[in-house]
Amino acid sequence: MKGSRVAQIEAPVRERDQTTTGETRMMTGGQALVATLQRHGVDTIFGLPGIQIDGLFNALHEARDAIRVIHTRHEQATAYMADGYARVTDREGVCLVVPGPGLLNAAAALATAYSCNSPVLCLTGQIRSDLIEVGRGALHEIPNQLGMVRSVTKHAARAVTPREIPGTVTEAFRQLRTGRSRPVEVEVPPDTLFAMEEVESPPPAPARERPAGDPDLIERVAKLLGEADQPVIYAGGGVLRAAAWEELRALAELLQAPVILTRNGKGGISDRHYLAQGQLADRALRPRADVVLGVGTRFLDLLDLPRTFASGQTVIRLDVDAEEIGRNGRPDLAIEADAKAGLAALVERVGRYNRRRPSREAELTALKRGVAALVNGVQPPAGFGLAIRAELPDDGIVVGEMTQIGYWANYGFPTYWPNTYLTAGYQGTLGFGFTTALGAKIGKPGTPVVSINGDGGFGFTLNELATMAQHNIAVVALVFNDNAYGNVRRIQDLEYGGRIIASDLVNPDYLKLAAAFGVTGRRTETPEGLRVALRESLKANEPTLIEIPVGVMPNLWKVFGLR
Ligand SMILES: Cc1ncc(C[n+]2csc(CCOP(=O)(O)OP(=O)(O)O)c2C)c(N)n1
Ligand SMILES: [Mg+2]
């Protein structure tokens, strides 16, 4: 088995399509699609084949030296992997699925990418073009596939002739690279993939656009911030999507403003910096703030309610999505801008109004320590979480999930680099952790990648242990096993008088499971043991599953005084 593994981790040499703009060539729809992907720099596709997309796989076989195909055991993994790949690289992630059930299987992952603004292109098959919406019951037919997928994408379109394909795909890339990045879908019927026609190649979509915002507004905001006494910044995932971390740190340092990083914004400023503050610092910082700036965040509080401010506090929001700015309460000032360009403009202008501010290091370090003492007191999650941190290098990637250690990590896992802490955002999707980690490792093969899973969530995608083994993807999957949908079970126990239903789990022997799939298995019960197991696993740099049997976990929201 081991001998037949493909050393897939090495990315193929990126051969851009050499076709010049405007040139026409006779080709199939499948070839036109592959050529347009190459033209946009795609060298990796996460896919699962089937008859309607044979024409595309056939063209991918011709282009196999330029584009590698990583195939999975369920379509949800194709989209999660594309998402993980996109989040840790500055590239789009591409997945490829059959229509109907294939796309429906991928939909939870697309919804997750949607909730986290991840640039994923989902290529989908269709039924034969003359049968679409006829309702005959063709293989994999669902009514209104485009309408269905539009609810979890920013843009979805169908091409029905080879000639249309380059334009349709280029528009999809334009959508991925403008405004708020969110998943897009392109679907092509099987007859179109095999049809042959003269196809003209359009110019590729331009690189990412970065609108800097209205200069007058920037000036007004720079004045407000520069003259503020106690400015506070809230930074969300938009900062990471826009690669705006240096601009964020520069502005925060000029203003000596603490930056509250949401769970999706973790890593926007290194947690080693005294200005980087966790979500629980909000309670201490918000009441004292006179001017508040929210950047690339939905601006919700710890209970997912719109943040509220006193009438004397000035609220400013900077977001690339005008709709988002107005959604949860009206700010006093709103800048519609890309986070990187908008923050850079503020950094440039703020000096005219800002005074030399004394360092707030002592005060904010003390606040950080106080919050850390509370968070790190929650055992055993803190012990396990900090064990992971201790063994991972600063740039190591952690993918969390809806599980006890994952919840803790959202508050307490120190994050030192951008795009090294990945969450499922407001979808909270079980099945996300392990598979997204596999995609992240493909994107960053030289970086350690660890996924935090519960036994329940891991069960959603454990078939992908086969993908991990076959493509030799050296992720370390941690499975915290309490033989339960533990969070659900605790709620049933404490809030529903012990009426336990559908939350106890009988699990496989994880060491045997790992062995059966041909990946390395380890088991340990303590944080110290986890450190040793992780150290050995990261050193070996091979596909690994570590089971950590655990007992009932404390309710951390209670400890934090949230619920
Ligand atoms: C796709 C999906 N289905 C259902 C849920 C509801 N849910 C939230 S937490 C949870 C239990 C998770 O169990 P496990 O992964 O073992 O983590 P634990 O709570 O035991 O630490 C469930 C079922 C979800 N978040 N996502
Ligand atoms: Mg569990």
Q: Is 507 helix (H, G, I), strand (E, B) or coil?
A: coil
pLDDT of amino acid 23: 84
- pLDDT (average), residues 292-301: 95
**Angle, CA 143 vertex, CA 140 and CA 146 arms, to 5°:** 95
Task: Tell me the mean pLDDT in the region 223-230.
Answer: 98
Report whether pLDDT(202) > 60. Answer: yes
- Which residues, 6+ apart, have CB-to-CB distance to 537 below 8 Å? 476, 520, 522, 544, 546
Q: Which residue has the least CA distance to atom 12 on ligand 1?
A: 485
pLDDT for 56-96, tens place per residue?
Answer: 999 999 999 999 999 999 999 999 999 999 999 989 999 99
- For residue 93, the model assigns a pLDDT of 98
Q: Which ligand number lies closest to the CA of residue 380?
A: 1
Residue 65: which residues within 8 A CB-CB, separation 6 or more? 12, 13, 15
Output phi, psi for 363, to 5 deg: -65, -45
Instruction: Write out pLDDT tens, residues 176-201.
Output: 999 999 999 999 999 999 999 999 98
Question: What pLDDT, on the 0 to 100 scale, is given for residue 327?
Answer: 87
Q: 219 in helix, strand or coil? A: helix
CA-closest candidate to residue 424, choices 116, 183, 122? 116
Q: What is the mean pLDDT of residues 290-319?
A: 94
Q: How far, in Å, from the CA of 407 to the mean position of ligand 1?
A: 11
| DSSP states of 372-432 | HHHHHTSTTHHHHHHHHHHHS-TT-EEE--SSHHHHHHHHH----STT-EE--GGG--TTH
Q: Is 381 in the pocket of ligand 1 (CB under 6 A)?
A: no
Distance from Cα 503 to the centre of ligand 1, integer Å: 9
- Model pLDDT, residue 366: 98
CA 356 – CA 463 distance, rounded (Å): 57
pTM higher than 0.85, yes or no? yes
Check pLDDT > 60 for residue 315: yes
Give per-residue pLDDT as tens, 363-387. 999 999 999 999 999 999 999 999 9
Return the percent helix, strand and coil in the chain, to nearest 5. Answer: 45, 15, 40
CA-nearest residue for atom 20, ligand 1, is 486
pLDDT over 60 at 402, yes or no: yes
Question: Is the model's pLDDT at 389 over the cut of 80?
Answer: yes
Contact between 178 and 209 under an 8 Å Cβ cutoff? The reply is: yes
Q: Is the pLDDT of residue 213 over 70?
A: yes
Residues 12-22: tens digit of each pLDDT: 555 455 556 77
Q: Range with the lowest mean pLDDT among 224-238, 287-301, 317-331, 410-424?
A: 317-331
Q: Quote the pLDDT of residue 16.
A: 52
pLDDT at residue 128 in the model: 98
In this structure, the number of other CB atoms found within 10 A of the CB of residue 437 comes to 32
Distance 407 CA to ligand 2 centre (A): 12
pLDDT at 533: 98
Q: Is 429 in the pocket of ligand 1 (CB under 6 A)?
A: yes
Spell out a b/e string for 504-541, using b for 16 or more CB atoms within 10 Å of the CB, else e: ebebeebeebbeebebbbbbbeebeebbebbeebbeee
Helix (DSSP H) and strand (DSSP E) numbers for the chain: 23, 20
Kindly report, residue by residue over 130-143, the tens digit of the pLDDT.
999 999 999 999 99
Q: Which of 110, 434, 487 best tests ligand 1's pocket when mutated (most atoms within 8 Å of CB)?
A: 487
pLDDT digits (tens, 9 = 90+) for 506-553: 999 999 999 999 999 999 999 999 999 999 999 999 999 999 999 999
How large is the C-alpha radius of gyration of the chain?
A: 24
CA of 500 to the centre of ligand 1 (A): 15
pLDDT above 50: residue 7:
no
Query: What is the average per-residue pLDDT within 43-60?
Result: 98
Distance CA 256, CA 360 (A): 6
pLDDT interval class at 488 (50, 70, 90): very high
Burial of 73 (0-12, 13-18, 19+ CB in 10 A): middle
CB 400 within 8 A of CB 420: no
Q: Please state, rounded to an integer, the average pLDDT across all residues of the chain.
A: 95
Shortest CA distance to 419 belongs to which of 116, 180, 88, 114? 88
As a whole number of angstroms, the distance between CA 490 and CA 59 comes to 51
Residue 526: its pLDDT value, please? Answer: 98
Q: How far is the CA of 408 from the centre of ligand 2 (A)?
A: 14
